[in-house]
Structure 1
Amino acid sequence: MRLRPDDLTSPETLALIDEHVAEMRATSPAESCHVQAADELAVPGTMLYTAWDGGQLVAMGAIKRLDAQRGELKSMRTVEARRGTGAGRAMLRGLIDAGREAGYRSLWLETGVEDLFVPARALYESEGFVRCQPFGSYTDDPLSVFYTLRL
């Protein structure tokens, strides 16, 4: 599996983003849905990464710059056929490495509390992320949980 910065032009990447956005919007009320569409990921200060295996897209994730020392993980998603195979963990570890390379001292993220997000929360916690209070522009939300990781 190879992780690379993505320019958001491949049909595979755009389809995975669209799938992610559709599922998040279908499962969370608008006021609790913080998913970003492709045009929102293609902005200065946000870098999308994709993981490929033999020409097949297997996962994606982004880092959004919060400030000079902090980045936020966004749009983590593994293609359904590769869930449970370690592809998501490899993607997360690649994002952590990218955060270190960018000079961040910590990474932050928001995810959901619903059962749909149990595997994601377990993954984040297994890689050392700890629960924290809302950060940045987030506020307390009963449908959100927040994590951070010191790098």
Structure 2
Amino acid sequence: MSASLSSGEVRVVAADLSDPRVAALLAEHLAEMEPTAPPESRHALTLDQFRVPWVRLWVAELDGALVGSVALKEVGPGHLEIKTMRTSAAVRGRGLGRVLLAHALGEARASGASRVSLETGVVPLFDAARALYTSAGFTPCEPFGTYHPDRHSTFLTLEL
């Protein structure tokens, strides 16, 4: 998939987990998540956790640089979870989050999923993400899958 941003053409492609740029992008994501909540309340995946068949990761590439990511993880029959939804600081505010979300929802629909859910943080760092999800029709829900109530998390879902 490709889309235009104000700064150029971005391509969203399946991640090559052997690409050191993917490892660096995921490490950047984990580092940014670290101060947002205690360890037991952080649910970002590590590179090794993407090496299972029930998790799919895509990356956004702009001018040879990886500038974003989004993943889908199977929760149960017809139910997927959005994981590792991220845009690099250098491109935030240019519409890449909307491109990544549209890609993930398109992939979810194509796979036959009937529901997509997510967990995200509650601190101000996550305000823009929550606004994006809400604008796409996500609504609050109870913890799903293996999650439990947590004051550091909010849970959202979208029926497809």
- 1:135 is paired with a residue whose SS is coil
Deviation, structure 1 residue 26: 2.6
TM-score by length of 1: 0.96
Contact 2:36 2:121 in 1 (8 A): no
Do structure 1's residue 14 and structure 2's residue 20 form an aligned pair?
A: no
1:66 match: 75
Structure 1 unaligned runs (5+)?
Answer: none
CA distance in 1, matches of 2:67, 2:111: 23
- 2:140 is paired with a residue whose SS is strand
Paired residue type of 1:144: S
CA distance in 2, matches of 1:26, 1:41: 22
Do structure 1's residue 26 and structure 2's residue 17 form an aligned pair?
A: no
Do structure 1's residue 54 and structure 2's residue 70 form an aligned pair?
A: no
Do structure 1's residue 75 and structure 2's residue 75 form an aligned pair?
A: no
1:112 match: 121
Percent sequence identity is 44
CA distance in 1, matches of 2:128, 2:119: 14
Do structure 1's residue 38 and structure 2's residue 51 form an aligned pair?
A: no
Do structure 1's residue 139 and structure 2's residue 135 form an aligned pair?
A: no
- 2:16 is paired with a residue whose SS is coil
- 1:7 is paired with a residue whose SS is coil
Structure 2 unaligned runs (5+)?
Answer: 1-9
- 1:60 is paired with a residue whose SS is strand
Paired residue type of 1:145: T
TM-score by length of 2: 0.90
Cα RMSD after superposing both structures: 1.0
**Cα deviation per residue 1:6-65 (whole Å; 9 max; x = unaligned)?**
121212211110011112123210121111111012212000011112322121010001
2:134 counterpart (120, 125, 128): 125
CA distance in 2, matches of 1:13, 1:106: 27
The number of aligned residues is 151
